[in-house]
Structure 1
Amino acid sequence: MNEVETRFVEGLGGARLAVHCMGEESARPLVLVHGLFSSAEVNWIKFGNAALLAASGYRLYMPDLRAHGKSAAPHDPGAYPEDVLVEDLQATISQLSLDDYDLGGFSLGARTVVRGVLAGLAPRRLVLGGMGLSGLSGWARRSAHFIDAIDRFGTIERGDPAFTAQAFMKSMQIDRVAARLLLTSVDDTPAEAIASITMPTLCVCGAQDQDNGSAQELAAALPEGHYVETPGNHMSSVTFKDMGRAIAEFLDA
């Protein structure tokens, strides 16, 4: 059950996208999308949350975003139109032939699944990890922070606000050309649009995580929003199984 199978699908423009799968094939499908500069391996698999969810009765599908993990990282600016990650997510769900499924994401993954629902995806339940209301409506500022970290890569010293991003990019061996192009494709999501997300939605966030604003505010803005606090900050919250347990309890409710 804990073995990971990797398959590939075609994203927008034919980009080769990796999808990591875990759990019984007959179990309920759960699609989980990782965050910026990360991967399915780091956000979901490495620290045991994917195995926990598989043991709870779910078949996990965990794509690597374009420019991340084992997915394609093209250097052609034309491969990064507006909302390319949403287009990739729609293509992934279609090629996996998923009709009745649950959907979740962490950080940029949360932002992507929100945009996916607004674009027509219809999961039974939605999970937003490490995301607050201002992280959706003020994404342009957040994106500018990471573009700055890419542009100054290798020169950022400890104490600089961009130092953590630089260190994470180094550890993940990020293709910075592709990542910078990807960041230009991501737009803000107006706060008023959130009210149209009507399925039950879990906002799960580390107690010390304010990187994307208040998850409590996001839960309050959703018609069926539910907030759960777990240990950790934005970087460490995915290392605790509390996040996996919170997701499992919400999906099983």
Structure 2
Amino acid sequence: MVSTTVGDGRTEASSERITSFDGVELAVHRMGEGRPVLMLHGLFSSAEMNWIRFGHARKLADAGFEAIMPDLRAHGDSAKPHEPEAYPQGVLAKDAGALVAALGLEDYDLVGFSLGARTSARAVIEGLRPRRLVLSGMGLQGLAGWSGRSAFFIDAIDRFEEVERGDPAFMAVSFMKTMKIDRVAARLLLQAVDDTDPEELAKITMPTLVLCGDKDDDNGSATELAEALPDARHVEIPGTHMSSVTEGALGDALVEFLGATA
């Protein structure tokens, strides 16, 4: 385990590498002590960008939680294999299950943003049982129809060097450049994400928070997602899909929901 300091020096996290179900190594960053909260970041992002930089992990740690924040496969400090066999269908949900097992998590909460929310929903449907679940940056339509979203990002990767300002893919390419994304690994991963049929949502029975920016409709209707789940409520915070994760209100909403006793 290696101690690291991220951001402005106030946010210290420890880091380790954990072997997933197929031998691929995943970087896991941890902050705080207390009830474990497994936190899965969004596409082309990282644990540092989604959870640490804007203070969400620190708020959880200060509230008595342990934020456990893996970098998804092909992201951040985790391995980025270029072999197609390293990306079987549903690989991210399999990684989530492997992390829960490797870390010995039994009484824990699960939080996901965007791709991390898709992954969290799939992982619960496939057997994970967190005490509470947060699906952030996600709407009902975003859990299915991944082929369209995937095709958009694959096109952005394939046209990476020619995309200019004004192109619909400009923001995606700019973010990939900022995050120094491995395009070969990312392209393979994009083809390995499972859809979730609305009928499968009945399997998500734990208390769930659907947390979304008030200007975020990138993944469909958050209200309809909350209505489709057995035990969920919808909370809005300021922002678009990209900006909502920078808002302090996100961390506040996580602390309030995960800290509730009822």
TM-score of the alignment, normalized to the shorter chain, above 0.5: yes
RMSD: 1.0
1:14 maps to 2:23: yes
| Aligned 8 A contact 2:11 2:55 in 1 | no
| Distance (whole Å) between structure 2 residues aligned to residue 248 and residue 227 of structure 1 | 15
- Per-residue CA distance 1:143-193 (angstroms, 9 max, x = gap): 111111111101112122111100000000000000000011012111111
Amino acid at match of 1:187: D
* Aligned mate of 1:245, from 248, 252, 256: 252
Match of 2:234 in 1: 227
Percent identity over the alignment is: 62
Match of 1:215 in 2: 222
| Distance (whole Å) between structure 1 residues aligned to residue 35 and residue 253 of structure 2 | 17
Residues 182-193 of structure 1 aligned to structure 2 (within 5 Å):
182-193=189-200
Amino acid at match of 1:63: P
Match of 1:168 in 2: 175
| Aligned 8 A contact 1:140 1:187 in 2 | no
Residues 23-38 of structure 1 aligned to structure 2 (within 5 Å):
23-24=32-33, 27-38=34-45
| Aligned 8 A contact 2:44 2:75 in 1 | yes
Per-residue deviation at 1:116? 0.3
Amino acid at match of 1:232: G
| Distance (whole Å) between structure 1 residues aligned to residue 72 and residue 53 of structure 2 | 17
| Distance (whole Å) between structure 2 residues aligned to residue 64 and residue 72 of structure 1 | 9
Amino acid at match of 1:108: L
Match of 1:101 in 2: 108
| Distance (whole Å) between structure 1 residues aligned to residue 167 and residue 221 of structure 2 | 23
1:3 maps to 2:12: yes
| Distance (whole Å) between structure 1 residues aligned to residue 230 and residue 60 of structure 2 | 26
| Aligned 8 A contact 2:87 2:188 in 1 | yes
1:127 maps to 2:139: no
Match of 2:120 in 1: 113
- Per-residue CA distance 1:179-214 (angstroms, 9 max, x = gap): 000011012111111122110000001111111111
| Distance (whole Å) between structure 1 residues aligned to residue 203 and residue 94 of structure 2 | 20
Amino acid at match of 2:45: S
- Per-residue CA distance 1:78-120 (angstroms, 9 max, x = gap): 0000011111111111111110100010000000010000110
| Distance (whole Å) between structure 1 residues aligned to residue 54 and residue 18 of structure 2 | 25
Per-residue deviation at 1:2? 4.2
Q: Secondary structure at the match of 1:14?
A: coil
* Aligned mate of 1:69, from 73, 76, 101: 76
- Per-residue CA distance 1:199-233 (angstroms, 9 max, x = gap): 00000011111111111110010011110000111
Q: Secondary structure at the match of 2:22?
A: helix
Match of 2:186 in 1: 179
Per-residue deviation at 1:12? 3.0
